[in-house]
Amino acid sequence: MAAIQSQAGRVEHHDGGIRVTGNWTLGHYRVLKARVAKCGPIPAETPIELGTIDVVDTAGAALLVELIGAERLTRVADWADELSPARQALLETIAETLCQPLPSKHPRPSSLAASLADLGRRTEALWRQQKMLLGFIGVVMVTLVKNLPKPHRWRITPLCAHLQQTGLEAVPIVALLTFLVGAVVAFLGATVLEEFGATIYTVNLVAYSFLREFGVLLAAILLAGRTASAFAAELGSMKANEEIDAIQALGLNPVELLVLPRVVAMMIALPILAFVGMLSGIFGGMLVCYFTLDISMLQFVTILQNDIPEHHFLVGISKAPFFAFVIAVIGCVEGFKVTGSAESVGEHTTSSVVQSIFMVILLNAVAALFFMEMGW
């Protein structure tokens, strides 16, 4: 049989058998592929001589497997003693690899199984997240207890700066929002109670709702969206810029330096904002009662003074420090979880807002059940 091409591998008939010669390499792959396709597979009983091959690589070995057969080449050491051990090993490896069956495709799981698997992954992630939050709360509380009897370690300047940021600058938005919600509650109460001729109890409805629930809850939700996100973004940017690593390299405690001023400032600011929210909400309800129900402001204040026990105010204001602590800690821990990219900063900032609002509403529901069972 004529040669395929100068220097390219050849397949020739010789003494009733086949002789394979030349270069079986990637550079001659197109020519070799055409020759192998033209010759077709060699019958298993046909003698084959491989000792005249000059050069062979993995591409040429794959074509030899196609020409001679993978099963026969896996035993090449038994019938091709003229080949060097290295070439025998190459041909055996390529043949064994091509002999292996393709991996079967895994059956697509049902939608129910996929949904349950996704639910399991989300539950596990939530459990890990809550364990990390509880651990961070423990670290913050231990650091706070250690620093309380040591006034020289208090960081007054950052505390005042964060107090202004979280408290003073948030007063207008808290007052406006609670004022509008108070007016809405009064409108709804008057609409419903008018059918029973009991519009005078709109005063009680507004007072109870804002002293016990709405005042502190609305202030906490606003701070969760406004301040927790700010804490997460600030600490996340510091983490991304390796500033927190620099603080640790200086031998300082990042929790004491960065977290405690924010937590303490939040615990001071939220009760004040909750009180402002209570006053603004009640004032909004007072204006609605004055203009729509002909209840004078003096009568409104008199009902508040005579009919509304003061323990409702204490119940509402007592929840503020706990809400503040949880919001500040979640904002800080999400900031510390940033990995170093701008995308991570945005992701954990959003996560801090969602977690803070969820935890505030959850704690408020638990507190409402507790106070109801205690008869407070």
Over 50: is that where the pLDDT of 9 sits? yes
Which of 216, 233, 231 lies closest to 166, judged by CA? 231
109's torsion region: left (phi>0), alpha (psi -120 to 50) or beta? beta
Per-residue pLDDT of 153-205, as tens digits, reads 888 898 899 889 888 889 999 999 999 999 999 988 888 888 888 888 888 88
pLDDT at 15 over 80: no
Question: What is the reported pLDDT for 147?
Answer: 86
Cα distance between residue 241 and residue 262, in whole Å: 20
Helix (H, G, I), strand (E, B) or coil at 113: helix
Q: How confident is the model at residue 326 (pLDDT cuts 50, 70, 90)?
A: very high
CATH architecture of the region 10-99:
2-Layer Sandwich (3.30)
Among residues 324, 359, 349, which one has the least CA distance to residue 229? 349
Question: 60 or 296: whose pLDDT is higher?
Answer: 296
Q: What share of the chain is helix, strand, coil (3-state, %, to 5)?
A: 75, 5, 20
Task: Return the residue matching tokens 């977290």.
Answer: 259
DSSP helix/strand/coil, 239: helix
Nearest by Cα to 348 from 261, 229, 263, 265: 229
Instruction: Decide which of 260 and 100 is more confident.
Output: 260
How far apart are alpha carbons 144 and 141 in whole angstroms?
5
pLDDT tens by residue, 265-324: 999 999 999 999 999 999 999 999 888 888 888 988 998 888 888 888 999 899 999 999
Residue-averaged pLDDT of the chain:
84
pLDDT at 1 over 70: no
Give the residue-averaged pLDDT of 83-112. 73
Q: What is the pLDDT of residues 119-156, one digit of tens each?
A: 899 899 888 888 888 888 898 899 888 888 888 888 88
The tokens describing 174, both together, are 């808290």
pLDDT for res 71: 75
- What distance lies between CA 126 and its chain's CA centroid? 10
Is the pLDDT higher at 205 or at 78? 205
Q: What is the DSSP string of 251-263?
A: T--HIIIIIHHHH
- The gap between the terminal CA atoms of the chain, to the nearest Å, is 105
d(CA 376, CA 368): 10
Question: Can you tell me the mean pLDDT for 55-61?
Answer: 80
Q: Picking from 59-68, 250-259, 362-371, which range would have the lowest pLDDT averaged per residue?
A: 59-68
Band of pLDDT at residue 6, cut at 50, 70 and 90: very low
- Whole-number Å distance between alpha carbons of 23 and 276: 89
pLDDT above 60: residue 102: no
How far apart are the C-alpha atoms of 113 and 103, rounded to whole Å? 23
Three-state SS for 281? helix
Domain boundaries, the chain: 10-99, 122-374
In which element (H, E) is residue 12 found?
strand 10-14
Q: Which of 202, 323, 333 is nearest to 255 (CA)?
A: 333
* Mean local confidence (pLDDT), 90-117: 74
pLDDT of residue 100: 66
Q: What pLDDT is stored for residue 276 in this prediction? A: 94
What whole-number distance in Å separates Cα of residue 122 and Cα of residue 328?
24
Query: Per-residue pLDDT tens for 225-247?
Result: 888 888 888 888 888 888 888 88
Confidence check: pLDDT of 18 > 80: no
Candidate ranges 3-12, 62-71, 103-112, 215-224; pick with highest mean pLDDT: 215-224
The residue-averaged pLDDT of 40-67 equals 77
Tokens for 170? 């948030």
CA distance 171 to 276: 7
Query: Which phi and psi angles does 108 have, rounded to 5°?
Result: -70, 125
- 293: Cα within 13 Å, side-chain hemisphere: 27
pLDDT at residue 38 tops 50: yes
Q: Distance of CA 128 to CAs 87, 115, 215, 339, Å?
A: 54, 20, 33, 17
